[in-house]
Structure 1
Amino acid sequence: MMQDRRSFLALGAASVAAASVGLPALTAGPAAAAGPAATHEAFVMGYFTESPTMLGARYALHLAVSPDGLNWTPLNDNNPVATPTAGTGGLRDPFILRRQDGTFVVLATDLTGTDFGQRNQYIHAWDSADLRSFTGYRRLRLHDRPTHTWAPEAFWDPERGQYGIFYSANFDGVDSFFVNYTPDFVTVSGPQPFFAPGYPVLDGTLHHTATAHYLYYKHMGNGRLYGARSSTLRPRSFDAGTYTGGVIQGGIEAPIVQRANDRDQWYLWGDSYAPVNGRLHLWTSGDITGDHWTEVDRFAYTQPLNAKHATTCPLTAAEHAALLDHWGTPTWHRVRSYNHPDRFLRHAGFAARLDAYPFDPYPDAQWRLVAGLADPAGVSFESVNYPGHFLRHQNLDVVLAERDGSATFAADATFHRQPGLADAGWASFRSVNYPDHYLRHAEYLLRIDPLGAASPATDRRDATFQLTY
């Protein structure tokens, strides 16, 4: 059951109102990781990228930031910020942990491409003071078995006074989670079973509250995501602790559990691999101790372009601002439909249309918003992969065409942006030379039509869009 989209937008807006009280929780211990004392004001997401035909495959660390944890801005133009130089030369499944001293460590699977039959005992590791530079690159060998070492995550274990690195591997014919302990992410202990419930599991992630630890994972036997809990972080303490039913049936992996900035509202991200590869899904719950996850309407969240198997970590407002300042925001936008929020404006065969994300060539949906060709107070949409080509209307249909220098072309390609006809928080685009006509979709094709406040609600929704990344 989808929750009301406006309520989620209100929750997202409210999440940036919390006052800063210093760094986010520096420990994975329960007392320091939950409640008002752990106030933070933003998030960073780490990920690698893939697209349906692998045009967008980049097996390196990418970053995005968000003030509310729902809508994300890719950094560095959605290009990598760190790339492995050893092992396979690529990474998957990155994980970002804030260490006890307030700095960060980044871990990742040592794997490039999709050859999941590779046997590799190593993971990648970097240190970072601020996620603006990455130092001390190294690989950590976690075992000597002829198996994989996938989706590493880490936590601070106050009982041991060390960090635990846990990951997916298959030591005895069953995929389980194993753990190695380390004081510094340089020297590591030998492996031991961490979660072995008696059936194959994949992609574990930990979340901590004041009263318990929560381990979410994929059950490989039935394809569902589950949650287990324990009062300790000791190896095997989660084995009998599963307390949820399956959150989703099949096609989802790589869970992330994320608490909202300022309240007891949890989000569960999942990465789809079937039937659509490359789409992040989201569920929410007001009580992580219960089994009450509700799917979030796609209207309420976005994902970084081509993001796969992500990780999120809390930030302060100052850290959020510093990352935007250092890496910069993208030089392009995507344009999302209001009433079909899984569809984005693209060109295909030089026609402008809406298609469901993800698709290739993905640059068909990237637009540089430039000052209006006929009126600098307006906006024109220039194609990223066809520079010098702009959206224009011809006989009311919208097409991609090369600029010819004429005044008619300039006027046809210029729109005035205004608050959305269906939702003032979104945007609508009014034609400069047909000022009662608005950019809208009809049967997923773009055109301009006469619209206004008195137009049918369906038409106003067709003419409302979100500028996103």
Structure 2
Amino acid sequence: MTPDPSRRLFLGAAASVPLALTLGTPAAHAADSAYVMSYFTETTSLGAGSDYGLHLAVSTDGLQWMPLNQNNPVVTPTDGALGLRDPFILRKQDGTFVVLATDLKGTDWSYVSQYVHVWNSTDLRTFTGYHRLKLHDMNTHCWAPEAFWDAGRGQYALIYSAVNSSGHNVIMVNYTTDFVTASAPQVFFDPGYDVIDGDMAVGVNGVNYLYFKKDQTLVGARSTSLDPGSFTAFSTGVAHGGTEAPTLVKSLTSGTWWLWGDTYTPNGVFYAWQSGDLSAGTWTALDQRTYTQPVNSKHCGITTITGTQYSNLVAKWGAPAWNRLKSYNFPDRYVRHADYVGRIDAYPFDLYTDSQWKLVPGLADGSGVSFQSVNYPTRYLRHYNYRLQLDVNDGTSTFAGDATFYRTAGLADPAWSSFRSYNNPTRYIRHSNYVLRIDPVSTATEKQDATFSVGY
């Protein structure tokens, strides 16, 4: 969430709601080999690229993400505010999925909903049973809903942020077996100060962990119980600027834990930290070279899935028809055009489509590549006096040669890419003072300037 910190709503009376018993069987998580991310999109200007439906991205390593459905929503709420924030995917005990989300469209923090959006899905390719679930009768919100299985209760705990009678946000909980009806709300975690965006890791060496946002930082609490009121804050807070929306993820291939968060702005930037021991409560920032968020993504949730589910999601929703290119030595910057000049700039920026490219067969040699602009599809990156600019293809052989490059192993890192000029074969695309040009490359710095990651 990105709440207005001056807004404080107060609790009213809460009504008890009866439970319906429909328990499932445990899911087979041992087969998981990939990850799915849920998110909504928001741009700096809150204009094009902001979409408050459910978006999905997939990853095989938990760090490099590929948005599905061309970064468009796969489903959108049809009730309440007609939009969502903070989506979360839980794989239930029977192996199917439930999607939860805040009932809020955009940034109208004055909108108050006692409901959360709910969808069911067997495979995250179709979504059924859409409804809103009412969690309380209080004069406050239900922000950033998440859920986990409480084996001792034989129920799911649905946690969310709401304001208590003292006027600050706390983490609330309702219990449910079916996400159709729920128990009366209880305070799950109230350390005496404002907390939102709770995220859980349950049963890690006998300990349960709750991470949350406190004063623009991500902080952890822990308990050997899942009982409301049993958690105690313990960790050192981490942040990169103002940071919110903590998401804990366990690597499927190592003992590493990742903690994701995004900045407290529209079109927030994701940052990630890692730890080999949740009990230590300390985190080390990951190099931004190692991870890439889906473009415009905000407040993500990450769930592990099987390799078959990964393949089926890509088959259903499709891979992007475009790429973004990240700089090796300035990994917060992406190749873009601005006033038709090729350069690298720090993400986010408007328009985000300035950084989207179709890598098409080279105009002068199909074994090479040319960079076709997504938002100016008649224009391509070409060199002119060794500087790269975005020009309309005039159909000449000179233009074709200037706009064609050979993709090679990265000069600074062979897992990345470099691009050699077709008609100036001793020169590579590089940045200099953030402007793109083609130059001979020899020094270590020049090799880094000429190395890029081709992703999304």
TM > 0.5 between the two? yes
- After superposition, give the CA deviation of every residue in 1:14-60 in whole Å (9 maximum; x if it has no partner): xxxxxxxxxxx957xxxx98xxxx46311000000011112321001
Partner of 1:54: 46
Partner of 1:266: 257
The offset of 1:299, in angstroms, is 0.8
The offset of 1:146, in angstroms, is 1.1
The offset of 1:224, in angstroms, is 2.2
Contact 2:159 2:173 (C-alpha < 8 Å) held by counterparts? yes
Of 399, 405, 409, 1:409 maps to 399
User: In 2, distance between residues paired with 1:321 and 1:263?
Assistant: 22
Of 180, 185, 207, 1:212 maps to 207
Is 1:338 the counterpart of 2:332 in the alignment?
Answer: no
Partner of 1:124: 117
The offset of 1:118, in angstroms, is 1.7
Contact 2:381 2:391 (C-alpha < 8 Å) held by counterparts? yes
Partner of 1:357: 347
* Counterpart mapping for 1:1-400 below 5 A: 26=26, 38=30, 40-55=32-47, 56-172=49-165, 173-208=167-202, 209-219=204-214, 222-238=215-231, 241-248=232-239, 251-273=242-264, 277-400=267-390
User: In 2, distance between residues paired with 1:244 and 1:171?
Assistant: 24
User: In 1, distance between residues paired with 2:148 and 2:272?
Assistant: 23
The offset of 1:340, in angstroms, is 0.5
Q: What code does the residue aligned with 2:179 have?
A: F
Of 421, 425, 441, 1:431 maps to 421
The offset of 1:314, in angstroms, is 0.5
User: In 2, distance between residues paired with 1:223 and 1:439?
Assistant: 39
Gaps (5+ residues) in structure 2?
1-24
- After superposition, give the CA deviation of every residue in 1:211-238 in whole Å (9 maximum; x if it has no partner): 111000112xx33211111112111111
Contact 1:338 1:462 (C-alpha < 8 Å) held by counterparts? yes
Contact 2:41 2:267 (C-alpha < 8 Å) held by counterparts? no
Name the SS of the counterpart of 1:309 in structure 2. Answer: strand
Distance 1:355 1:149, change over 3 A: same
Q: What code does the residue aligned with 2:221 have?
A: A
Of residues 67-76 and 244-253 in structure 1, the stretch that sits farther from structure 2 once superposed is 244-253
- After superposition, give the CA deviation of every residue in 1:403-423 in whole Å (9 maximum; x if it has no partner): 111111111100010101111
Partner of 1:20: none
Give the number of equivalent residue pairs: 429
User: In 2, distance between residues paired with 1:263 and 1:456?
Assistant: 36
Name the SS of the counterpart of 1:320 in structure 2. Answer: helix
Q: What code does the residue aligned with 2:277 have?
A: D
The offset of 1:78, in angstroms, is 0.5
The offset of 1:262, in angstroms, is 2.2
Contact 2:216 2:264 (C-alpha < 8 Å) held by counterparts? no
Q: CA RMSD in A?
A: 1.4
User: In 2, distance between residues paired with 1:363 and 1:77?
Assistant: 12
Contact 1:145 1:171 (C-alpha < 8 Å) held by counterparts? no
Q: What code does the residue aligned with 1:279 have?
A: V
Contact 1:39 1:262 (C-alpha < 8 Å) held by counterparts? no
The offset of 1:64, in angstroms, is 0.3
The offset of 1:277, in angstroms, is 4.9
Partner of 1:18: none
Name the SS of the counterpart of 1:41 in structure 2. Answer: strand
The offset of 1:317, in angstroms, is 1.3
Q: What code does the residue aligned with 1:390 have?
A: Y
Q: What code does the residue aligned with 1:251 have?
A: G
Partner of 2:448: 461
Partner of 2:6: none
Gaps (5+ residues) in structure 1?
1-24
Partner of 2:436: 446
Q: What code does the residue aligned with 1:68 have?
A: D
The offset of 1:315, in angstroms, is 0.9
Name the SS of the counterpart of 2:191 in structure 1. Answer: coil
Distance 1:284 1:409, change over 3 A: same
User: In 1, distance between residues paired with 2:129 and 2:161?
Assistant: 24
Name the SS of the counterpart of 2:233 in structure 1. Answer: coil
Of residues 110-119 and 327-336 in structure 1, the stretch that sits farther from structure 2 once superposed is 110-119
Q: What code does the residue aligned with 2:375 have?
A: N
User: In 2, distance between residues paired with 1:77 and 1:430?
Assistant: 29
The offset of 1:250, in angstroms, is 5.4
The offset of 1:378, in angstroms, is 0.5
